[in-house]
Structure 1
Amino acid sequence: MDPVQADPTIGFHVVAMPYPGRGHINPMMNLCKILASRKDRIAITFVVTEEWLGILGSEPKPANFRFSTVPNVIPSEFGRGADFPSFFEAVMTKLQEPFERLLDRLEPSVIVYDTLLAWMVGVGNRRNIPVASLWATPALAFTVLQHVDLMVQNGHFPVNLSEKGKEQIDYIPGIPPMRIEDLSTIFTGNGQVMHRLREAISLVPKTQYLLFTTIYELESHTIDALRNIIPIPIYSIGPAIPYFNLKDNDNDNNHVQWLNSQPKSSVLYVSQGSFLSVSKAQMDEIIIGVKNSGVRFLWVARGEASRIKELCGSDEGVVVPWCDQLKVLCHPSIGGFWSHCGWNSTKEGIFAGVPFLTYPIFADQIPNSKTIVEDWKIGWKVRRGIGKEEQLVTREEITRLVRRVMDLESKEGKEMRKRAKELREICRRATSEGGSAETDIDAFIRDISLTYNL
C-alpha cells in the first residue's frame, strides 16, 4: 500500500517499524492503533517486510493507519525458526538501506522503532528526526541486558549453567533475586546475537523516548530503577494487547460457539506460540497427557494440528489453526492457560485473570515463567530443566498438572484463582481512564506532539 503522503489535515506523522516477528509486531501494532484512535490528526505508517504485509494486510485498522513495506531479509524457505541467528543478523544488516529509501518519501514527525533495530538510532539522529524506542519484552529483560558488565564482575557471565545455574543474582537494580538458570535464555548462546542485543540496549540513551510494553504496577521497581539511570523520558504504556477490541462480537467463529456451550472455567486453552516448538517426543507426551486428563481443551496449533487430532480425537476438545487469543482467554468457559510464556501471551493471560501451566522455550519466556509461578503465584511449571539439563515431562505428569490447574474446588486452586483475579483487576485499572497505562500513553502523545500544536 502507498505510505501516508503530505496532507494538510494531518498534523503529525508517526512512522513505526517493528522487528519482523509476531511477538514484536503485535505490541507495536496495538500501540499504533491506540495512537491513531486518540487523535484523528495523527497519521501512522506501519513498516513491515513484504512477508508480513501478506499476513497483516487484511487486519482491521483505523482510517489514518497505513502499511508500507521493505523487502524480506531472508528467503521464506530459510525462515526465522530454521536459523534464528542468521535471520537476526539479516534483520540487523539488510533492512536499514531500504528503510532509508522509504523514509525519503515519508517525512515523519517521529519514528517509533523496535529497540532491537539498533541502526534506527543513527538514522533518526542523522536526519534530525526524534526516535522512540519500543521494548517488546519485560522491563526486567531490558535491565538484565543493561547490567551484563555487573554480571561479569560477579562471575555470572558468560553463563555457566552446570556449575552456577542455581546461584542467585541479587545485585541488579530494580529486579528481584533470580537464579542464573531463570535468566540464562535472555543470554542467547550465539555470541553475535548477544553482541547485537547489548549494542541495541547501549544506544537507547541516544534516543528521545523509551516505551515499555508493561503495566507499571507489575514492574514498578524495575521501571523506577531505569528512570534513575536513563536520562530520557520513560513511559510504561501498558500491556499493548488488543483490549480495545474485546467488545467486538465474534460469535460467528465455530470455536467461540463451542466455548459458549461449555461450563464456566472448564476449558484449558493451549498455545505454544507462533515461533518455536518442542521436540516430537515431548509433543506426543503433551498431547496424550492432555487427552488422558479428561479436561476439555481448545488448542491452537500450527504444524502439529493433524497429530493432535490423531492422538486426541474430538471428544473433549477443539483444535484450531488460529484464534483471537485475548478474546478466547477472556471467555467465561476458559479455566486455564497452557502457555509458552511469551510476553504478549503472559500479559493476555493476566489480563484475562486465568491460571497458567508454563512451558517456556526461548529468550524471555524462562524468566516470565519464573515470574508467573514464583512471584505472582498464579501457575505451575511444566517444563523441567534447561538445555542439556532438560528432562522429558511424561504424559502422567502432564495429566496430573492439567487436572491440578483445572481443579476449581481445591484450596490451592482457589487461592491461585484469587491471585489471578487480583492481577486482572490491576490490568483493568491500568487500562481504564486515568489508569497508569492510559496516563503514560497520553503523556507520550503530548510530549511528541508539543511542537506541532496538536
Structure 2
Amino acid sequence: MAEEHNKTNNSSPHVVIFPFPSQGHINPLIQFAKRLSSKGVKTTLITTIYIAKTSPYPNSSIVVEPISDGFDDGGFKSATSAESYIDTFHQVGSKSLANLIRKLVNEGNHVDAIIYDSFVTWALDVAMEYGIDGGCFFTQACAVNNIYYHVYKGVLEIPLQAAAPPTVTILLPELPQLQLWETPSFVIKWMRLMRPLMVVGPTVPSMYLDKRLEDDDDYRMSLLKPNHIECMGWLNNKPKGSVVYVSFGSYGELGVAQMEEIAWGLNESGVNYLWVVRETEKEKLPKSFLANGLIVEWCRQLEVLAHEAVGCFVTHCGFNSSLETISLGVPVVAIPQWTDQTTNAKCLEDIWGVGIRAKTPVTRTNLVWCIKEIMEGERGAVARKNAIKWKDLAIEAVSPGGSSDKDINEFVSQLSPIKC
C-alpha cells in the first residue's frame, strides 16, 4: 500500500536534492527524494540543463530545476576531460545554483536544506552563503568512506602503494582485514567526519523492497536508452535461473584484451547470457565474435535482476549495482575496475558471501570457472542462500520501523518548518 503522506503544501519543509550528473549518482538521490516526498517533504531535484533536455523526469511529486554545468549543449561528453568538466561545473554551477536559490526564495519557496552529492562539495559553500543547512550524501559504501576518513586523518599514508609492500594487510576500525588491492583506487582529500551519519538505503525503487511508494518501479531518469522490449522478450523465453546477466555500468570502460577474454569466456561457459555493451564499447569486441547470448546497449537493470530467468550477475561492483543485486537476491561474479569497486567486491565475496571475485586481469578460463561455480557449484548454492538473506534484510531496513526508515524520519523531524 502506498504511503498517504505524499502531498505537500506551502507549510511543508522544503529540501533541495543535488546529485552529481551521472547515472550512478542520480539514481540513489532520486530514490531519497521520493522517500522524503512520501513523508510530506517538498522536494526539488537539481539536474543540469543538458540532462533536463535529453532525459526529462516524469514524476509530478518532485519538482526538477535545471542549472548550468557550463556544457549545456553536450553535457559531460562534450568536456575535454573529466577534470575539465569538474572544474567548469564548480565555477559555473556554483553561480547557477546561487541563482536558483534566489529564484526559489523570490517565488516563496524557502529552502530548509540542501542535500548535495559528495562529488559537489562546493554546494555547501553556496548553501552557507544563504543560511541554508547542508547535508552530504555519500553514494558509496560506508566501508569505503571509512577508508577515506583514515587516509585523511593520516592513519593510512598515501599513495598506499608507496607506503607499504603489497603483502601488508590493513586493519581499520569496524572493517575486516584488507589487502592493499582491496582498498579504493583513489582517495578524496576532503573526506572527513563532520556530523553523525544517517543510513537511508538501500536506495532502490520501492516496488522491489517495501512496496510503499505508489508506481515506484524505476528510477525514471535514464541517461541511456534501454533495449527494454528486446531484453524482456528474450528473458521470457529462458528457463528459471539459467541466465547470466553481465554489465559494467554506465561509465566503466574495459581494455580491448579484457573485452576479448570476457567475450570468449561467456561463449565458452555455455550458459545463456545477457550482456550490456554500450555503443562506445562495441568496437572492442573481437572481430570474429559471434555471441551465443544477447548483447544490448543498455537495459533496465532492476527488471532484469528481478526476472526469474536470471541466476547470476557478472558485475563491475559499482555501489548501485551492488545494492541492487543484494536487494533482488541475485548472486554475483565480481570483476571490479576502479575507485570503490575493489572494496565493494571484498564485501560482496567475503563479508556478505553473495559471490565470487574473478582474478584480474580476467582470463576466459577463470571467468568460465567463476560462472560455473555460481550457477552449478557449492559456493553458488551458499551465495544464493546468503543473497536471499540480505534481500530480506534490505526490505526490513526500509519498511516501517526499519533502520533506514527511522533515520529518514529523524532527518525529516529535524527540518525547520517554513517561516511565512
Distance 1:128 1:50, change over 3 A: same
2:144–2:184: 8 Å Cα contact kept in structure 1? Answer: no
Cα distance in 1 for partners of 2:206, 2:298 equals 18
Amino acid at match of 1:239: P
Give the C-alpha shift of residue 381 in structure 1.
1.5
1:76-91 to 2 correspondence within 5 Å? 76=74, 79=77, 83-91=81-89
Matched, 1:444 2:411: yes
Deviations 1:346-397 (A, max 9, x none): 000111111111111121011101111122222112241xxxxxx4x22222
Match of 1:431 among 387, 390, 398: 398
Distance 1:175 1:350, change over 3 A: same
Query: Match of 2:189?
Result: 198
Point out where structure 2 has 5 or more consecutive residues left out of the alignment. Answer: 1-7, 106-110, 219-226
Deviations 1:219-269 (A, max 9, x none): xxxxxxxxxxxxx34311011122336776899823213222211111011
2:184–2:341: 8 Å Cα contact kept in structure 1? Answer: no
Matched, 1:418 2:385: yes
Distance 1:350 1:76, change over 3 A: same
Matched, 1:66 2:63: yes
Deviations 1:411-454 (A, max 9, x none): 222112111111111112112222112222222222225x349x
1:210-289 to 2 correspondence within 5 Å? 232-244=195-207, 253-289=229-265
Match of 1:334 among 310, 322, 345: 310
SS in 1 for 2:66: strand
Query: Match of 1:175?
Result: 175
Distance 1:266 1:145, change over 3 A: same
Amino acid at match of 1:241: V
Distance 1:355 1:19, change over 3 A: same
Distance 1:302 1:111, change over 3 A: same
Matched, 1:137 2:140: yes
Cα distance in 2 for partners of 1:179, 1:373 equals 14
1:119-158 to 2 correspondence within 5 Å? 119-150=122-153, 152=154, 156-158=157-159
Cα distance in 2 for partners of 1:120, 1:95 equals 9
Give the C-alpha shift of residue 308 in structure 1.
5.5
Give the C-alpha shift of residue 272 in structure 1.
0.5
Query: Match of 1:403?
Result: 372
Cα distance in 2 for partners of 1:100, 1:84 equals 23
Query: Match of 2:100?
Result: 102
Deviations 1:149-178 (A, max 9, x none): 55x456x422216952231111x3322221
What is the aligned length? Answer: 392
2:17–2:116: 8 Å Cα contact kept in structure 1? Answer: yes
2:113–2:133: 8 Å Cα contact kept in structure 1? Answer: yes
1:273–1:340: 8 Å Cα contact kept in structure 2? Answer: yes
Query: Match of 1:221?
Result: none
Amino acid at match of 2:130: R
SS in 1 for 2:175: coil
Matched, 1:344 2:320: yes
Cα distance in 2 for partners of 1:149, 1:322 equals 37
Deviations 1:71-95 (A, max 9, x none): 2345748738973333333333332
Give the C-alpha shift of residue 15 in structure 1.
1.4
Give the C-alpha shift of residue 56 in structure 1.
3.0
Give the C-alpha shift of residue 299 in structure 1.
1.6
Matched, 1:166 2:148: no
Cα distance in 1 for partners of 2:418, 2:84 equals 41
Query: Match of 1:118?
Result: 121
Cα distance in 2 for partners of 1:183, 1:17 equals 27
Cα distance in 1 for partners of 2:185, 2:403 equals 30
Distance 1:442 1:153, change over 3 A: closer
Give the C-alpha shift of residue 55 in structure 1.
4.1
1:329–1:354: 8 Å Cα contact kept in structure 2? Answer: yes
Give the C-alpha shift of residue 290 in structure 1.
0.3
Cα distance in 1 for partners of 2:398, 2:178 equals 29
Distance 1:129 1:357, change over 3 A: same
Give the C-alpha shift of residue 275 in structure 1.
0.8
SS in 2 for 1:186: coil
1:23–1:344: 8 Å Cα contact kept in structure 2? Answer: yes
SS in 1 for 2:46: strand
SS in 1 for 2:189: helix
Query: Match of 1:193?
Result: none
Q: TM-score, normalised by structure 1?
A: 0.79
Amino acid at match of 2:126: V
Give the C-alpha shift of residue 310 in structure 1.
6.9
SS in 2 for 1:235: coil
Q: Which has the higher contact order (CA 8 A, sep 6+)?
A: 2
Distance 1:238 1:252, change over 3 A: closer
User: Which structure features the higher share of helix residues?
Assistant: 1
Distance 1:238 1:452, change over 3 A: same
Distance 1:375 1:395, change over 3 A: same
Give the C-alpha shift of residue 28 in structure 1.
0.6
Distance 1:162 1:338, change over 3 A: farther
Distance 1:443 1:153, change over 3 A: closer
Q: Which deviates more, 173-182 or 282-291?
A: 173-182
Amino acid at match of 1:99: L
SS in 2 for 1:297: strand
Cα distance in 1 for partners of 2:94, 2:75 equals 22
SS in 1 for 2:203: coil
SS in 2 for 1:263: coil
SS in 2 for 1:262: coil
Distance 1:166 1:243, change over 3 A: farther
Give the C-alpha shift of residue 138 in structure 1.
0.9
Give the C-alpha shift of residue 276 in structure 1.
2.1
Superposition RMSD on alpha carbons, in Å? 2.8
